[in-house]
Chains A and B, each alone.
Chain A
Amino acid sequence: MNFERETLPTTPADWVVGPYHSPWISHFRAHFTLDGEIIVRAGLEGGFLHRGLEKALELHPWQSSIVYAGRVDPEAASFAEHALCLAVEKLCELEVPARAQCIRVIVDELTRVSSHLKYIARIAQATSSETMVHFALRDREKILDLFELLSGARFSLSFLRFGGVANDVTEGFIERVVEVCDLIRFRLKEYNDLFSYNQAFLARSAYVGVVEPGFARRCGLTGPNARASAIVADVRKTSPYSGYEQLDFEVPLGQGEGGAIGDAHDRYVIRLREITQSLEILRQVCDALPAGPFASAPVERDFKVPTGEAYARVESARGLLGCYAVADGSARPTRVQFRVPTGPSWQLAPMLLEGARLQDAPTILASLDLCVSELDR
């Protein structure tokens, strides 16, 4: 961006915003030093949502750990649950039935679409496009309805179990999933007409918060944020799990069609394309859902995990989500640690904010899809 026109220097002013501030996506405090409208120094302070989740995991039986894992990011609960299940299944050498794997993929992809729709609502909120906020949230409700039909909960599903899932799909669920997929596919066109290529939105998001590919790699960025910077990084492709290797889907990459590769607009467009791919995955899985059991064996309260350690990773809606589990053969975990995709984005955000306009700060932060809940946990 060209800031050379800002030739009128002003006395730098410090401004602390948060932790509760309506344009913020969640609870954190931002420290800005401003030169007029330009941010010359920025810092983010987290920790306001710390709940001691990893410690809580050590204090409760393995059976309860799924519930705590789901709270890492309550809005996209299935990913952390899935990562924990994979790690524990590695330790226990548990076989997961094919039907259970397919149900896990359905839940994951629905969660991904739901999370991306929330992302669209957030970035629309950041650019004050009220109509788009309501459109995205309206369609997200349809997915939350599906979660309710499946598990009884709309958030924090706690639906996955070691060796499978909690229940088989309810009657009519698969048909409803197909209907919702068709609806959202249709609505994506509406989003593009209204918002994605709207000149006002392009003016707010193109060339804003640009993450160069090399910089993204050095920062350890993963997921859609990395892919927007044209880095091929998708755990579903690089180390497939739960049957993703049998599915046919593409990994969209940023092309800088609005401005530069890796800008806020690219990060938005990537998520739109990922929704399309997720819908494609859902269609394939729904078409070929195998018959059979939905879990290998019920997980009881005295469920024990053999001594050892295991690391598993999944592709969450925000990127690589890893789970490192250590067991000592007892009924409780010794240590469970998560590697969350928001970490690198959080480190990167202040660097993107420095030099940007103050009015772009909400857009930059929303475009990075920071999840303070999973960061603080």
Chain B
Amino acid sequence: MSGVASGWYQLLVLPEGIPPGLVVAGAWILATVMVIFPVAAAYSYVERKLGADYQARVGPNRAGPSGMFQPIADWLKLLQKPNQALSWKEERWSALQTMATYSTAAVLPLGPLFILADTEMNVFIPFWALMVAALATLLLGMEQSSIQGWLGGSRVAAQALSGAFPATLAILCAGLAGGGFRWADMVASQGAAPWSWNVMASPFHPFGFLAFVGAGLVFSADHQRDLGGGVTSNLYGGRLALAQLGKFYVLFLWSSMATVLYLGGWSMPAFITEELSAADAWIVLFGLQAVLVLSKTVLLMFLIDWVARTNPRARVEQITELSWKFLSPLALFSLMGAAAWRALT
């Protein structure tokens, strides 16, 4: 499976002489336009409707039947926004932040169809990229010469640092059950049924899952509504939209990672995989796998969103404290326990 995943584009019948890089880039753009945008639009609509329901509101109800065209209206409005000119220093860090965040798309674990780079360290790549993005946010905040930027950048960096430790431990904990840090290996070690997922691999793995999801919240928690406003308070128009999209993307990325690390990823019942493989229907198989992993990811995101919407937001030092003093010991406990469990059974 992993061999197919790394060179899936070889399945396409293309004229000679087209460089593979171009094919990959083209396919990615096509997938983004055809799959990611519609999924993101549908997600944002359902999320807003559900959020409104939690809060005794109506939610989007003006654009189209039951407000269904609201994402399109938002998108059209966004296109009319003027582009914000930044100084070249800010531009530098803003570009680094954007590139670091979205470079993770190459290893987005949405099934073999979407993985562009398949390496032994795939699980860690998004994680490192987010650390780089946090560093870029810190530097961008420093460059903004404002209290909001300065505080916002420092907070993002502090959160990323504190979230990194439990996240690493939780990844290692999942790796113990998975036997490797390639996405495909991680999924191959899990079955389609919930009891064969990594989260059920030992009595300690559920704690690792909790620590991983918690670390994701630490990474992506924002303070937009607090006094400071953070780095985004100096941004407007397209830049602001990009920054907010980045926050959504990080949550999406983290949820998809949690899904693959602990919730079975794109594992399907063996008979379906065998039947489709035997029939050489790879595209159908990959498509189904992507739908499966996307569904799990989106469900996890809704769950996180529900908790976030109905609870007050913690202060930054409470978030980092939670990460250092609760999530880190929890992740360490789960790792040590899982290792002992593996050695003894």
Contacts and interface: CB of A to CB of B under 8 A. Distances in A.
Contacts, number: 69
Given A17-B227, A23-B226, A358-B227, A134 B312 contact: no
Interface residues of B, number: 22
Contacts of A200: 311-314
A128 B227 contact: no
Interface in A196-218: 198, 200-201, 203-204
Contacts of A23: 225-227
B309 interface: yes
Given A15-B147, A204-B314, A358-B228, 17 more contacts: A23-B227, A125-B225, A127-B313, A129-B310, A129-B312, A130-B309, A131-B54, A133-B55, A194-B310, A195-B312, A200-B314, A201-B312, A203-B314, A357-B315, A359-B228, A360-B315, A362-B227
A8 to B, nearest CB: 11
A13 interface: yes
Interface of A: 13, 15, 17, 23, 34, 37, 124-125, 127-135, 138, 194-195, 198, 200-201, 203-204, 357-362
Contacts of B151: 37, 358
B312 A359 contact: no
A347 B322 CA distance: 35
B290 to A, nearest CB: 32
B270 interface: no
B57 interface: yes
B55 to A, nearest CB: 4
A138 B56 contact: yes
Q: Is the interface of A mostly helix, strand, loop or mixed?
A: helix
Interface in B220-253: 223, 225-228
A124 B228 contact: no
B174 to A, nearest CB: 28
Most interface-central of A127, A130, A198, A200 (chain B CB within 10 A) = A130
A34 B226 CA distance: 16
Top 4 A-B pairs, shortest CB-CB distance: A128-B313, A129-B312, A127-B312, A134-B55
Contact of B312 (A37, A204, A358, A360): A204
A357 B314 CA distance: 12
A128 B226 contact: yes
B312 A135 contact: no
Contacts of A132: 312
